[in-house]
Every structure is written in C-alpha cells, then in structure tokens.
Structure 1
C-alpha cells in the first residue's frame, strides 16, 4: 500500500468557493487529495454485463406501464375512490414519473459519454448525491428499471435499461456505505484515528470524491459546508498519518525478518548484520529491539538479543532495559531481571514498577516492599501504575497501616482514577475493612463491572450475603452486565444466606444465556443448591455439565455429605477416582465428612491411608476432619493420635477434639485439652466454650464452669447465643438456677434453645410455677412450646398442670398480670 501511495498522482480537485463573510465564519480549505486505490472499482459492471440484482417485481396499484414516451397512465376505472386511495394513487403515479425522468436523464448522460465510460459513472455518482429526490425513490427505482425492460420490445433499449440498473445499484451501494462512514465520523469526531484504522480499505478515492460532492451540495448552507470541509481535512490527515505508520511498520517487519540470522550468528557476524540492516532501513535502535523482545517467547532468544544489546549499544538505554526486565519476568527468570535492574545506570518509574510487580507476582512480598522503600529513597515519584502495584502489595501482606498511608497519598496527590480506586477498594476488602471499602466505592467518580465484582465478591467472602446480593441488584439497575466472576460471587452469597429464590433466578438467566456460563459458574450453581438443601437440583446441574473440574466434584460430594447422604457421596468419590480426576484437600475433607455421617469406619480409614500416602497428613484442615470423623465413629484413640501428630494446631482442631470428647462422655479429657490449648496460646472460640460448658454440666462441675464463664466474659464469645444457652444449661444442671436466670435475662438475643434450657432448668430444680410463667412468656414472645417442653414440665411438676390453657391470648394475659402483680 505504501509503495502505491508513493507513485500515485494527486487528484486536481478544486475546493468549493468559500461562503461570503456576511453569512458565515471563516471557511476551511480542502487539502489536496492523493489517488487512493479503490478496492471496489473492479465490482462495477461493464456495459455487456447483464447480471440481475433484483428478482422481485413491485406492482404499483392503480398504475400500468406504457411505452417510454408516456410516463404512466392511471387506471381510474374504480368509481369508488376515497380520499386516502386517491392520495396513495397520486403518490405512486408521481413516484413512477420521477423514476422515469431520472432513467431518461441517465440514458441521455450515458449516450453522450458512451466512449467515456468512467466519466459517465463519475457523473452518475454526482447525480445520485445531488439529486434531492433520490433517497425517497431509490428503493423503487431499480424495480422500475426492470419493469420498463420487461415491457420493452427493442432489444438494444432493454439491454441498456438492465445495464443501467445494475451499474446504478453498485454506485448506490457505494454512496450509502460512504454516507454510513461519514455518519460514524460525525458521531465520534474524537475517534477519527481509530475509525480510519478500522475502515482504511473503505477510505478510497471514491470516498473523498463523494465527500467533495457533499461539500459542493451545501453552497447554500455555509455552516454545514464548513463542517464537511473540517471533516475532509481531518479525515485526510488521519489517513496520511495511518499510511505513514503502516510504511514504518512494514520497514520494521523487514528488519524483524532478519532477527533469526542475527541472534543465531556469532558476535562479529551479528554486529555486521546489524550494521547492514541499519544502512538498509535506518530502523535499528531501541524501538526495534524492544519490539523484538516483546515478541520473544523463548528464554534463549531473549538471552541472545541481550548479548546483541551489550555488543552494539555503547550506552545503556533505559527503554531497552525496561523491556529486557519485562521479558525476563514474563518468561519466569527473576534472577536475570534483577541482574539487568542492578546494572542500569538510569532507572525511571517504569523500571521500579516492573521489578516491584515482578517480585509481587512471585509472592516475594518482603523484597517487593524493600524495593518500594528504596525507590522512595531515590526520589522516584510514584505514578498511578506504581500506586496500584503497591496497593496490591499491601493487600497481600494485609498491611492496613501502610495501605492507608498510600491511599492518603493517592487522595492528596489527586491520582484517583478508575483503576486506582478499584485497587483501593480491593485492598480494603482484602484486609476485612468493609466500611472503608464501601466508603471508597461510594466516592468513585466512575465504575465498571470489575469494581462492582470486587465489592460483591468481598461482601460474599466476608459473609455479608445480604449486602452482596443488594449490590448485585444495584449493579444491574445501573446498567452493568455481570461477568462470570460476578455471577459466581452472587451465587456464593445465595448459598451462604439460603437465598434459593434469588439463586434460582440467576440460574434462569444463565440458562437463557443472559449471563455467561462456564465450569466455574456451573460449580457455583451446584454449591448454591447444595447449601440451600436442594441436592436434587444440585445433581441435575452436575449431570448436565459437559466439563467438570476438581471443584465441581468436591462441591457435589460435600453437598451430599452435609445433607447426610454419605453413601451417595462415597459413590461419587469412587466415580471421581475412576475418571482420574485430581483430588485436593477439600475433596478429602468432604469424603471424610461423608464417612462420618454414615459411620463408615473402614472407608474413613482408607481415606486416612490415602492422606498419609500423599504426604499431606500434617495439613491442619485434613487433621480436623479426621479428628471429627474418628470421634463420630467413637474411636477416641485414633482421634488422639491424629491430634498428637499434627505439627501445628489451630482453634478449629482443638474444638473438634474437645467437642468429640464431650459427646463421647470423656468430659475430664475435654477439660484437660482446654488447658493444653491455652498453654499453646490458642484462644477458644464460641464453639469451644459451648462444648466445654456442656462437659462441665455433664460432670456437674460448677467451679470449672464458672472459670470458663470468666474466660468467656473477656471475649466477644459471651454475646453468642449458643454460649449463653450452654451457660444456662450448665448452671441449671448444677443447681444454680439464680445464676442461670441472670445469664438468661442478660442475653442480647434468645432462641428456642435458650428458652428451652431455662424452662427445663426451672422444672428439673422443682420451680414449677416459674417454669409455667416462663412458658407463658415464651409463647407470648412468639416461640412455640413444643411437646417435649410440656412433657418435661408436666413430669417434673407431678402432673398437676392439667388445667393449663395454652391459648396464646390467655397465656399472654396471664403473663402480663403476673408481671404487674410482681411490681
């Protein structure tokens, strides 16, 4: 293309006369137009071509064709003409007359220039552009030509009519395409360069001739004419710039074609080839070397190009060295990238950002942080890319203080943009600072689907399922279309919050292909249905998936295990093994749960043997599942051995062994484990305290219970409803009803378990009247008194409560009267 432009003559088009100063502002002269080759010029038909382009016939009511000498005749034989029919017939007759006049004009024009075919076609283009009626008759014009040809007796005239129609159809298609392209440029004037790059093949000589004709057609409207002149000049400049860039790229491509010879040559031969290349195209330099480096996907090639750089560049070029660092990092050689970095005499912000991001990608967070501090010492002013990189570093290290300082610098230095703000939101969400994440998100000037997905995912991971689904709905309301990551986060929130209806609606959108579906979305659907208790739906999604990964199999197995269908879960695990799907730690933990749910000791031991064989027996997550399994199967000795062999033990593992001992009647061992746990510096959680208090209740050991109560009161666990219920049960079981009532009255919230514990505590300690009052109060507050409570209270009170009326209204009235009398 570039060579063709070098030898193309310049088209001598005169610009339209400028409008007078009295009617317009300054007009803009047209730039001279090069001869652009037309990719569609070969499509124009020659006079001998008779290819039909329309096969349908348009019949016009009320009009019949007569010879060319008469335009048309209207059939007025219908005596019942109404006004509407008259208007339609008049319009159709007028349409035929306009078409016939235009056909005659074209035929005369063609006869006058029958020896100058190209000149005739050029005049036709002008006629189509300048004719004011053409747009309204163009769809009927070509059918009219065929109708006249069909009724024409003279073969020569018939042939000319068909030829006219075919050629005009081609010209009209070009004109409409040019108009569409002009409209695109007018709609997006700031994106002319991108439009030229996309539609360069359509920007031919004919296009600029068409644009020139449009300029001439608005001599009576100087403002519109000036707008078209501006468009002409801008478009022509963009085309020339694009072609110049293309010519440079072609030269670079020629240079790159010799890259293999240079990098495979020895040092002297390589230098000679470079010198020859430099003389030939004058392109060898940092730009070309950087392009070579970006196109390399082999470490050996990068090494050879590096050797050529050392041989031929007398001074270090920062631009080249930056590309060397990025190439080494891209190919996984951090050592060589650091070596280039250390030898650089001049480093810019791109250098520091590249090396810090490289260390960050290799999870060398401390080294990345040291490099960032070193860049500050060297006086490097961070830009937006560096700040995003450092915010990601703070998020990985969970360094909240440093991240806040960086964010403060961003706000103070006005570095805020979409990417930087999204990085700040991600940082706060990763550190668990959801209030700061929401505040940053709300202050964003603009948002995209990525930042919405970041917030929705963060809420889902922080167990803020309601907020996650609320933001998902708000994102849809703002017109953003969710991607697969957004859908996965929303489905996770649905599963955690048991929002089956919302999840089912999302499933419907996926089935209708409104949302993109892949293996991750399918896995999230399985997990959502399983957590909502709909294992049948979960299995249906699983069966319909063509592609499944380890997470897919694990989700369906854990869903069956949670529901208590251990045999089905084990059957799926065996099928997974037969299909040779990789098994991860979560899969093994789910299978262990399934074995425990059906108390299949043999299957569980097989899984344990696989864990030992895979050398992952020291994993605390798997160790916890094994302790739970053995306690479930009443194999305390095996559970104790697993605990002893764990190199590190967290609160979940300790809680598993303590709760297991409490359920097996080994309360003393449970309390002993508490002492060992606290000696290792592990702080109990709410579940640990609940299990320990039940052990104290079974031992009827109020002193140990009070001690545990004292420990719990110093932690947030005391506000947990299950811990308080366990305290009530422990105190009541040990006969300390007053302490149990104090705990009950101080509870921030109560559930059915806490009501039941307090009522049964009263009854079993002989306080029948207080038990009955509390039953009335429980019912008045909306809790149902079940048969177990009634039977226990009846039994404890000696069956003297037969006349109790359990109507809600009467029980509420009784409780209120009791309260007023007590006051």
Structure 2
C-alpha cells in the first residue's frame, strides 16, 4: 500500500502592518511605498479622512494609485468606492482608475470610465488615450478605437509617440493591419515599441510575409530592435520558411549572449522545426539549460509537423520524466501524433490525463480528440467525446461526420449531418467532403447527387476538386462507371490525376478494362505514373484473365525502374508502437513472429482461405509467391498482436498503403477463426473486420 505523506503548506513571511504613530505632513511616501495590504489601506484611508488630506487632488491620486494599482491582488472595488466619493476628480485620478481597470483586465469598465471622463468635461491627456487604447485593443473594439482615434486627432495628440504606438497596437489587434501600417508610416519618430506593435499586428493577423519584410526594412534603416522583435521575426520566418533570415537571427542571438533568453531560444527551435530543419531545432533544444512547457511543445510540434510522430511521442515521454506539466498545445500535438500512428493506448492515456487535470476541453482540444479517435477507428469514443464537448464549431461537426464515414458508418454520419442542420450550424466545404464520403460508403447514389447540387444551390459553396472526386467515387463505387466517366468529362474544372486514379480504382473492383486503360492514359498525361497506378491496371487485367497484359504492365514498371513503395504496418502494444515491413526480420522476436504467422495462415487455410498470389512480390519466383504474400507487413503485425495481446482483445493496425486483396481476404478469415475484431487503417479508409466480414463491404 502506498503511503501518502501530507505536504505542509509553504512558509510565508507575514507582512508587518503599518504602525502610524503620527500621520506625516507629506503622506505620499507612506501611501506609495509602505502601503502593502488592504488593512494598511484602510488605516491610511481613515487618517486621510480625519486629516482632510483626501481633499488634496495629488494625495487622492496617490491613494487611488495604491488602491487600484500597487496592491495588485486586491479587487478594484475599494478604489472605485473611494473614487466615486471624490469631489470633482481631476484627469490624473481618472487616468489612475482607467489604468487600474486595464491592469485588472476590466477592459469594458476602462472604456466606460474614459467615456465618463469625457462626459464630465475633464481634460483628457496622452496618458488617458494610451490607457483607453490598450483597453480597446484587448476588447478588439474597433469602433470604440476609431472614436478614440478621432479624439486623438481632434485634440492634437496625433504626434505623441506612445499614443501612436497605442493606435498601432489597437488597429493591429482588431485586424486592421493596413491602418496600423499607415499610422506607423506617418510617424515622425519611431522607437522599438512602435516596431514591435506593428510586428504584433502582423503576427496576430497571420501576415507572416509582411512581418519578415518589416524586419528587413528595420535592418535597412538601422532601427533598434530587442528580444521581442526577434521573437516575432523568428516566428514569421518559421511560417514562411525563410531559413536564411532565421539563421541570421540565430547567429545574432549567439553573438550577443542572448541564449539565456528562454522565449528567444524557444522561438528559434520552433523556427527550425517549421522550416523542416527538425534536427537543428533538436540540437538547439538539447543545449537549453532550462526548458518550459512552451519549449517542449515547440519541439514536439516540430516532430509532429515533420511526420516524425514516433519521435514526438518519445519526446513527450521525456517531458513527463522532466516533470513539466503539458498544456493544451502539447496535448493537441501529442494527440495528432497518436492519430497518425494509430497509437490508441497512448492517446487514451492523454485523454485520461486531460480529465484528471480537469483541463478545459476547448473547441481546439476537443476537435483534436475527435480527430484522434476517428483516425484510430474508435467510433464509440468519437461519439462520446463529441456529445460531451461543451462547445462545438463547424469543424467539430465535420470531423465527426468524416470520421463516421471513413469507418463505414455512412448512415450514422448522415444522421449527424441532419442534426447539425437542425442545430443551425451552417456546413462548409469540409463538411460536404465528409457528407459525400458518407454517401459513397453507404452506397447512396441519389442522396449524394442531391447533396452535391445542394452545396451551391442552398449554401453558396462552390464545389472544389475534392468534391468532384467524391462524386466520382460515389458513382464508381456503385458500378456506374460510364456515368462517372461522363461526369469527369463534363466537369467545369480540369480533372486532376486523383480524379482519374479514383476512377481507375473503381475499374479494378468492377473489372472494366476499357475505362481503366483510359484512366491510366489520362493520369500519364497529367503526372508521372507511380507504382500504384501500374498495379491497379495489372490487377484489372488479371481479374479478367488477361495475364499476359498484366505481366506486360508489371514488366514495363520494372523496366522504368518504378519500385513499389514498401508496405509498412504499425501496431501499438503496451504504449509502444512497433513497425513491420514485408519479410522484415529486424524485430528481436522475428523468429517467434514468423512461426506465429505460419501457424495463423495454415489455420485460416483450413477454414477456406485461398492465397491470392497475384499480390506477391514482382520478383518472387513462382514457388515463393505464396510465402511472399504470407509475409506482407499487416500479416506480421497481426501475428505480433496475437502473440502480445490476450484472447478476445481487438487488434489495431495502421498501414501506409492500400490493403491488398490477399491481406483483406486473409484478415476477414483471421477475425472469424480467432474470434478477434481487427481494425486496419490503410491509406484510404478504415476496415473493421469482425466474424469474417469487413465494414467496407469488400470495396476499397
């Protein structure tokens, strides 16, 4: 039994109360320097009332400053009550109150106080404008900010540096970066805060190119910059891929002894990662003497965005060992990596951690969970997370619909689409990709056609190439190959290789040589053929008995040096992701895995499985073709899963290519013989194998 040791609260040194033996004639130092608590404030307040010092405007201002600003962790109510009792407070008193309200994040109240100041005909100065512009900036109150700008110009403060900086910041925060730049360009003098305010506007609006160009201009005019400027420009370099400028900034950091600035070095790590130099970012990360959650998250994000998801998860484990608490950004990237790898157990642990730590499930985090469960083929968890999300946006609904569709639950996906419309959530172009996919997987041709027309007619959404591809898939999947071919010919936009490849895949399923050959011809005109295109046509020839043509296509592929992309299947066991390649022997337990594979294949043979040797390696000898298909990567992964998991446990596999016909047939039989649910995510969709059948209805 674990022994829980109670932790004593940290010892704090109590603040000594002020003892006032005689109230000074000049109470300013007492008020601003020695007043530390609300109790001190009460005591001084009593003396100010008694001595009538509170009627002195400067003393009243000092007292308000102490109540509203200096004692930071106290509510501002006390200062407001004192302010409301002052006889005709002057501009300094109003400025203190506006500043105090801004510091307490009461931005709306700060704007109201400024309006009250104007209504009471109190003189407004540059400090009033600076504070109220900050409040407008935080509120993104563009209209209020414009009104303040008019007052600035009217009262002649348009050339005051920190008022201009406030205007730049306000317009930038409200998305009016063009106006912010106009204010900036018209300034007679600019300090580093002016440049940083404009940088902030560009970065908040995602105008990364302009931010980079601004820094080049800054260097050109020899303007002074600081660490804040460099963080902004490094972030922008990462977004636009300007590694040259990023390297220059990194060199400046090292040359000027700024490597101790955590924010700056973290921005450099992030820049390298986003520019595709993940290893350079890791090198810099490893050199950091101190790393906060932002630094860890930046490096994890870098691995995730580079598709190096196993390294992202390994680094996350290191982060846990370092006792650094992850934040929402970390969780989103880790979930994304788990989704790509199909690492259900690790992702579920992350979900449990979110619940345990009571992290707020924002729309961003909730949607990341939806993507994770959808990509791991766990539809029950997908629906549960969706139903429990406190807030959902159109992307959340779209991910749910797409997730259900790709997992073979097209009808359920369409029911959620109807519920989405009932909740008055307007669908977007991404939603319709999911909805059309649902129609495709459910075989609902007429419904798909109606929804495709509805996109532009009812929702003013112009179909993109992806939507046309979905319609080709709907028609092709249903065997309406002539209709699909005519649909492509009548498209208002030029079909791409993906469109024709979709039709080619349908031709393989329905054994249509003529349209299959035409599809391959069109693909060749658009882009160089890759191995999958040749294999699809060869498969069509084989399916209709034209073996010589199938051999010819495969020989042509070999002569051109086009190699089949090696199949890689991954499986997660006890939080560790294992990868398998065809005929791979790199696993320490390879001998055991191959023995289990042989046993598995013999078992399903007895149950009626017949190997499809046309899916064997091109170079395999005739006598070795059966062994070749037995050793495909997903079969090795399934055998490993049978060894490492208990009877009845679901086995989840992720594969980088489409599942071949032989593996599909074999996995159906394995699910029946071993009484296991096997979920395979291939490059196209999910296959849920159970009791000898698959959710894709043998079309993929």
Which interval holds the TM-score relative to the shorter structure? 0.5 to 0.7
1:552-581 deviation line (CA, Å, top 9, x unaligned):
111112222333434433332233223222
The DSSP-based 3-state class of the residue aligned with 1:457 is helix
- What is the deviation of 1:544? 0.3
Q: In structure 2, how many angstroms separate the alpha carbons of the residues matched to 1:756 and 1:424? A: 54
Relative CO higher for 1 or 2, CA cutoff 8 Å, sep ≥ 6?
A: 2
- What is the deviation of 1:601? 2.0
Q: Does 1:537 align with 2:280?
A: yes
Q: In structure 2, how many angstroms separate the alpha carbons of the residues matched to 1:553 and 1:534? A: 16
| Number of the residue aligned with 2:105 | 363
1:438-469 deviation line (CA, Å, top 9, x unaligned):
22222222222222222223323322221111
Q: Does 1:631 align with 2:374?
A: yes
Match of 1:270 among 11, 15, 22: 22
Q: In structure 2, how many angstroms separate the alpha carbons of the residues matched to 1:304 and 1:685? A: 62
Match of 1:475 among 208, 211, 218: 218
Q: In structure 1, how many angstroms separate the alpha carbons of the residues matched to 2:218 and 2:465? A: 35
| Number of the residue aligned with 1:313 | 52
Q: In structure 2, how many angstroms separate the alpha carbons of the residues matched to 1:795 and 1:680? A: 46
Match of 1:696 among 413, 435, 439: 439
- What is the deviation of 1:673? 2.2
1:107-144 deviation line (CA, Å, top 9, x unaligned):
xxxxxxxxxxxxxxxxxxxxxxxxxxxxxxxxxxxxxx
Count of aligned positions: 520
Match of 2:302 among 552, 559, 564: 559
Q: In structure 2, how many angstroms separate the alpha carbons of the residues matched to 1:765 and 1:406? A: 72
Q: Does 1:384 align with 2:136?
A: no
Evaluate the alpha carbon distance shift between residue 553 and residue 313 of structure 1 in structure 2; reply closer, same or farther with a 3 A threshold: same
8 Å contact kept, 2:504–2:519: yes
| Number of the residue aligned with 2:356 | 613
Evaluate the alpha carbon distance shift between residue 736 and residue 442 of structure 1 in structure 2; reply closer, same or farther with a 3 A threshold: farther
Q: In structure 2, how many angstroms separate the alpha carbons of the residues matched to 1:686 and 1:754? A: 18
The DSSP-based 3-state class of the residue aligned with 1:351 is helix
- What is the deviation of 1:423? 1.4
Q: Does 1:294 align with 2:36?
A: no
8 Å contact kept, 2:276–2:306: yes
The structure where helix makes up a greater share of residues is 1
8 Å contact kept, 1:507–1:525: yes
Q: In structure 1, how many angstroms separate the alpha carbons of the residues matched to 2:468 and 2:155? A: 51
Q: Does 1:641 align with 2:379?
A: no
| Number of the residue aligned with 1:437 | 180
Evaluate the alpha carbon distance shift between residue 473 and residue 762 of structure 1 in structure 2; reply closer, same or farther with a 3 A threshold: farther
Q: In structure 1, how many angstroms separate the alpha carbons of the residues matched to 2:193 and 2:144? A: 24
For structure 1, list consecutive stretches of 5 or more residues without a partner in the other structure.
1-259, 275-283, 805-823
The DSSP-based 3-state class of the residue aligned with 1:432 is coil
- How is 1:150-189 mapped onto 2 (pairs within 5 angstroms)? none
Match of 1:666 among 396, 405, 409: 409
Query: What TM-score comes out, normalization by structure 2 length?
Result: 0.66
8 Å contact kept, 2:394–2:425: yes
| Number of the residue aligned with 2:624 | none
| Number of the residue aligned with 1:521 | 264
Match of 2:80 among 338, 355, 369: 338
Q: Does 1:328 align with 2:67?
A: yes
- What is the deviation of 1:547? 1.3
Q: In structure 2, how many angstroms separate the alpha carbons of the residues matched to 1:390 and 1:618? A: 33
The DSSP-based 3-state class of the residue aligned with 1:295 is helix
Q: In structure 1, how many angstroms separate the alpha carbons of the residues matched to 2:452 and 2:333? A: 32
Evaluate the alpha carbon distance shift between residue 467 and residue 717 of structure 1 in structure 2; reply closer, same or farther with a 3 A threshold: farther
Q: In structure 2, how many angstroms separate the alpha carbons of the residues matched to 1:354 and 1:595? A: 51
- What is the deviation of 1:365? 2.8
Evaluate the alpha carbon distance shift between residue 704 and residue 353 of structure 1 in structure 2; reply closer, same or farther with a 3 A threshold: farther
| Number of the residue aligned with 1:681 | 424
- What is the deviation of 1:793? 7.7
Q: In structure 2, how many angstroms separate the alpha carbons of the residues matched to 1:476 and 1:459? A: 17
State which structure, 1 or 2, has the greater radius of gyration over its C-alpha atoms. 1
- What is the deviation of 1:408? 2.6
8 Å contact kept, 1:569–1:594: yes
- What is the deviation of 1:549? 0.7
| Number of the residue aligned with 2:319 | 576
1:739-787 deviation line (CA, Å, top 9, x unaligned):
5555543x8xx976578679999998966898689668x65xxx65656
Q: In structure 2, how many angstroms separate the alpha carbons of the residues matched to 1:326 and 1:731? A: 73
8 Å contact kept, 1:550–1:581: yes
Q: In structure 2, how many angstroms separate the alpha carbons of the residues matched to 1:585 and 1:628? A: 15
The DSSP-based 3-state class of the residue aligned with 1:270 is coil
| Number of the residue aligned with 1:407 | 149
| Number of the residue aligned with 2:561 | none
Superposition CA RMSD, Å:
3.7
Q: In structure 1, how many angstroms separate the alpha carbons of the residues matched to 2:513 and 2:163? A: 64
- What is the deviation of 1:595? 2.4
